Amino acid sequence: MKLQILGCSGGIGGKRHTTSMLIDDDILIDAGSGVLQLSLEQLALIDHVFITHSHLDHILALPLLLDSVGAMRDRPVTVYAIDTVLEILRQDIFNWRIWPDFTEVPPECPYLRYSAIDVYQAVQLAERVITALPANHTVPAVGYQLSSPTASIVFSGDTGKNPVLWDCINKIENLHALIIETAFPQDEHGIAEISKHLSPSTLLEELKQLTANVPIYITHLKPGREETIMGEIAELESVEYQLQALQQGQIFNF
Give me the residues that bind Zn ion (CB under 5 A), please: 55, 57, 158
How far CA 38 is from CA of 34, 71, 128, 157, 235, in Å, comes to 8, 17, 22, 22, 37
Shortest spacing between CB 199 and Zn ion, in angstroms: 15
Residue 20 or 145: the one with the smaller Cβ distance to Zn ion is: 20
Q: How far is the CB of 245 from Zn ion (least distance, A)?
A: 16
Instruction: Work out how close the CB of 148 gets to Zn ion at its nearest, in angstroms, rounded to a whole number.
Output: 26
CB of 166 to Zn ion, least distance (A): 20
- Cβ distance to Zn ion smaller for residue 57 or 232: 57
How near is the Cβ of 175 to Zn ion at its closest, in Å?
Answer: 23
Residue 128 or 222 with smaller CB distance to Zn ion = 222
Nearer to Zn ion, 69 or 198 (CB): 198
Using the minimum distance from each CB to Zn ion, give the nearer residue, 172 or 183: 183
